[in-house]
Structure 1
């Protein structure tokens, strides 16, 4: 059986703000839609499923995010995920300039959880709390400088 990762789906409270965050980082919108009906109820497992969605892709074409904002059923707010919790953890991006990525994130009010770490002079990396509490990791490969 062949298998390939299709995308990572993230429910958000404000679709437009989340799109702005990720497109400012360099992702591009490859599709938008509003979905509902029996097929979505079946696929997702929620009666009356109705959401606005956006598909975003990394510039290299290898990574895709599906962002969705629920219209129905009402979205359920939870505490932001912590790095040590079981379950969906984070979305990670390789960047060529971590300081530039952090400046873009800061322009959206998104700051590092603690700071920027240096892993064995191979990577600089950090986690930021993005829109809707999404954990986003930036990693800069220092060997490419």
Structure 2
């Protein structure tokens, strides 16, 4: 019998308080808004283990169409914990990393939308310039600019 093969990664889910703010922030980074809908009912709760639930979601896609973020705002079953202020060495999911053309220009634009630089923009060897920012709702986002001298 042949081993089951991974086909793709569909999306990363992020729970937010304000879908509008999160959509605007990720659009500023360059993701494309695909749509918004309500997911509800007993079937959805069977997947998440929360029982009957009601969640508003928005799908955002990278320009190449290969990766997506599913932004979720729980309407029924309130959020019970908040990991947005966890330090970068906390256990669990940490951040989403995006490759951008011009990291300085991107950081400048995102700061105008309330983002804060976590540390500083640094260069890794001759390969990348990198930074972490806290964006919409304090979400930790990584930015990378690939250097041309590769």
RMSD: 1.5
Q: Which residues of structure 1 form unaligned runs of 5+?
A: none
Unaligned runs of 5+ in 2: none
TM-score, structure 2 as length reference:
0.91
2:89 counterpart residue number: 84
**What is the rounded CA distance, in whole Å, between the counterparts of 2:31 and 2:119 in structure 1?**
25
The residue correspondences of 1:48-87 to structure 2 (distance < 5 A) are 48-79=52-83, 80-87=85-92
Q: 2:28 aligns with which of 24, 27, 46?
A: 24
Q: Secondary structure at the match of 2:115?
A: coil
Please say which structure displays the higher CA radius of gyration.
Answer: 2
2:125 to 120, 128, 141: 120
Q: C-alpha distance in 1, partners of 2:111/2:149?
A: 25
Check if 1:5 corresponds to 2:9.
yes
1:31 positional shift: 2.1
SS in 1 for 2:24: helix
**Shift in Å at residue 77 of structure 1?**
4.3
What is the number of equivalent residue pairs in this alignment? 145
Q: Which runs of 4+ in 1 moved over 4 A?
A: none
